Structure 1
Amino acid sequence: MKNYFLLAFLFATQLLLAQSKDKKIFLDSLWNQTNEGNHKYYRITTDYYLNKKGYQITDFYLNGQIKNQGSYEDKDGNGRIGQHKEYYSSGRLKTEKNYAADNRPSGPFNSFYENGNKEIEGEYVKIKTDVVEEHSILKVISYWDENGTQRIIEGNGTMIEKSEKETSRGKLVNGFKEGTWIGTNPSKKVQFVDKYESGIFIAGVSKDSTNTEFGYLEINKMPAFKTGLMDFYKYVGKNFNKPDTETIKGKLITEFTIGTEGQIQDVKIIKGLRKDLDIEAIRLIMSTDNSWNPGEYRGIKTEIKNTFPIVIDIKVN
C-alpha cells in the first residue's frame, strides 16, 4: 500500500510540474489581453516557461472548442511558423494556411463553410509592386458557394468574399481580384467600392450612415503617434517615474483606446505589476492625450483599442 501511495504522489507531482510549464491568458473580442470574466477567448501556450525554439499556441472559444492552433517563433505569439488552422465554434475546420520564414502566408490555402462544404482552394503567392514592396496575395484556383456550386474555375469567375464583419463581391481573373469589388460592413453601417489590379488593392471609396463619401488608399490605418512610434517609446522610457531605492523587474500591460480625434480614452491595466507602478503607467499613457493621429477604417476615422506593455527593470546596488 505504501508503494501505491508513493507512486501516486510521484505521478501527481510530475503532472503538476508538467502543467506548470504552460501559460493561460484571457483575450477580448479584439484579441487584446484582458481579465477573466471580460474575455471572449482564452489562449494556452504550451511550454511557455521553457526556453526553446518555437512554441505551440492554441486559442479557445468560451465553450472550450479550439479557435486557432499553430506554432510561433516566440512564446508571446509573434512570428507564425508552418501550418495554422482556424475552427468554427462548432469544432468544424474553417481555414488551413501556411506561413513562410518571413511570417507571411505562403503556399496552399483551403477554407470551408460551417456546414463542412469546401469554399476556397488556392495558394498564397508573392507579388512585387516595386523594387522594395512585396505582397503575399491569395490566388484563388477554385471557389464554391455555400450550396456547393462551383463559381470559380481555374481562377476565373465571380466570387462573394465574407469575413466576420464584411461581405464583398467581384471578379477574379487568373486567380486574382480584378476591377471593381462592391461590399458592405453592416456593423459599421458602411458601404464601399474597391479597385484591384492583379490582386493588389489600388484605392477605394466608402459611404457612412449619413451617405458621406470618403476616399482611401489603405483599408485599415492604425493610429500613429504624431512624431513617430520611436518617439513614443522614448517618451515612455524618459517620463516613467520609477522608484530608485529598490530593485524591481517585471512587465505590466496597459490597454487604452485612441478616439476619432486622437484623444486617449478608457486607460486600464490588464496585467499589473504593483499598485504604484500601475498608477504611474495610467498617468503616463493619459499624458499623451491628443498626441496621436486617429486610426481609420476605409477612410473613416474610428476608435481603436490598443495594448501596450511597459517593461520595468530597476537595479539598485
Structure 2
Amino acid sequence: MKLLLSLFLIITVTAAWAQNKPAENQQLFYFKNNGLQVKEPDSSDYVRVVRPPDSSSVLFNVAEYYRNGKAKLIGKSSTINPATYDGQCLTFYPSGKKQMLLNYTDGAITGTNYVYHPNGKMYLIFTMDTLRNQSFEENMRVMSCMDTTGKALVTDGNGHYVVYNNLTYAISEEGDVKDGKRVGEWHGSYPAEKVTYTDTYQNGKFISGYCVTAAGTKYTYTGKQQSPEFPAGGNTAFIALLKKKVKVPATLKNKSTQVFVSFTIRKDGTVGNPLLLGSVSPEADKAITAAVNASPAWKPRLINGLPVETSWGMPIVFGTAPAAPAKAKTGK
C-alpha cells in the first residue's frame, strides 16, 4: 500500500501551527522529541494531525510533522489521542528520507518491519513475537542488519547486531544474535552521562546486567527496565489521591466523565508538567493539575539500573453514571 503526502495537508498544517489553531475537520497535538505532549506549539518539536476516517474506514488518519514542515509519520489509528496505530505506519527522518516501515495491530508492532539508515540504505529487518509478558527487545527477532555502507552484519537471524541512538545516531549498544534473538553479553553506553553497561541474554531473554558510572560506581540489576511506581498502591492509589483533591460539580456527579492525565516523572521521583486530555470542569481541571504538581515523589523509571526522566499518564473517571433501572421480574 502506498502512502501519499497531500500538499494541501502540509500547507494547512503549517498555517495552523503558525496560528495555533487547526484547520477544519482536524485536531492538532504537540509533542517534544521524548514523546511528552505539550500545550503550546512554540515549545514542541513536532505536531500530530488527526483527521476523520476515510469513507471506507473506521480508522483515523494520522500525520506528524517536524517544525521544518517535513513529514515525520503517516499512519492510521483507532483512537484520536493517545494514538493506537493499526496497519502500516511510515516514519521519516528530519531530512525527509524514509526511516521505518512498521506494521501495527491494535497498537502493537507485528509482522515484518523495516528500518533504514539516514543515508537511505537498509539497516534492519525484524519480526515481532506477540508474547505480552515479554519486553520489546525480547519479542523482537532480528532477521537482517546492515551497516551504513550496506555490509551485512546479521544474515538469516545470525550475526552481530548494532543499535543506534535515535537522535545522535551514535552506536548505543551492540551484541550477537542467534536465530534472531539476543545471546551472550551485550555492551552499551550513555555518553552524556558517561555510563557504560553490560547485559547478559539467553535465547533472547534478559538475564542480568550491570552498569558503571563516571565515578566508577557499579550497579547490578535483574530487569532491563522498571516502570515508575507510585508508593503504597501504584496507579490505583495515585488516582484515589487525585480524586480526593477534586470537587466534581453537582451537575456532573450523576454522569461518568473521563480525562487522561499525563505528566513527567523526573529522575528524583518528583512530578511536574501535568497535562489534561479532556475536561471535567474549569475548576476541577485546575484542582487536578494542582494535585499532580503536589504529588508525593514516585519511584522513578529505571533503565539499566539508573533513574531516567519519563512521561507517564493514565485515564481517570470522575462521577458515576446512574444505574440502569432494574428489570421487572415476570412470574409464571
TM-score for both structures, normalised by structure 2: 0.75
- Structure 2 counterpart of 1:164: 166
- Structure 1 counterpart of 2:101: 96
User: Any conservation in 2 of the 1:182–1:194 contact (CA below 8 Å)?
Assistant: yes
- Structure 1 counterpart of 2:32: 28
- Structure 2 counterpart of 1:286: 293
Q: State the AA in 2 paired with 1:163.
A: N
- Structure 1 counterpart of 2:122: 118
Q: Distance in 2 between matches of 1:133 and 1:268?
A: 29
Q: Distance in 1 between matches of 2:175 and 2:247?
A: 54
User: Any conservation in 2 of the 1:23–1:47 contact (CA below 8 Å)?
Assistant: no
Report the CA distance between 1:63 and its aligned residue: 0.9
Q: Distance in 2 between matches of 1:33 and 1:267?
A: 9
SS across alignment from 2:269: coil
1:151-190 mapped onto 2 (5 Å cutoff): 151-164=153-166, 167-190=172-195
Report the CA distance between 1:163 and its aligned residue: 2.9
Q: Distance in 1 between matches of 2:278 and 2:113?
A: 40
Q: Distance in 1 between matches of 2:274 and 2:141?
A: 42
- Structure 2 counterpart of 1:263: 270
1:246–1:154 CA distance, 2 compared to 1 (3 A): closer
1:69–1:218 CA distance, 2 compared to 1 (3 A): farther
Structure 2: gaps (5+ residues): 1-21, 322-332
1:72–1:218 CA distance, 2 compared to 1 (3 A): farther
- Structure 2 counterpart of 1:241: 247
1:124–1:239 CA distance, 2 compared to 1 (3 A): same
Report the CA distance between 1:125 and its aligned residue: 3.0
TM-score for both structures, normalised by structure 1: 0.78
Q: Distance in 2 between matches of 1:312 and 1:32?
A: 24
Question: How many residues get paired?
Answer: 289
1:32-111 mapped onto 2 (5 Å cutoff): 32-34=36-38, 35-47=40-52, 53-101=58-106, 103-111=107-115
- Structure 2 counterpart of 1:224: 229
- Give the alignment's Cα RMSD to 1 decimal: 3.2
More strand by share: 1
Q: Distance in 2 between matches of 1:86 and 1:297?
A: 25
Q: Distance in 2 between matches of 1:58 and 1:309?
A: 24
Q: Distance in 1 between matches of 2:163 and 2:84?
A: 26
User: Any conservation in 2 of the 1:53–1:74 contact (CA below 8 Å)?
Assistant: no
Structure 1: gaps (5+ residues): 1-17
1:268–1:108 CA distance, 2 compared to 1 (3 A): closer
User: Any conservation in 2 of the 1:191–1:207 contact (CA below 8 Å)?
Assistant: yes
Report the CA distance between 1:112 and its aligned residue: 1.0
1:162–1:246 CA distance, 2 compared to 1 (3 A): closer
Q: Distance in 1 between matches of 2:82 and 2:259?
A: 17
| Identity in percent | 21
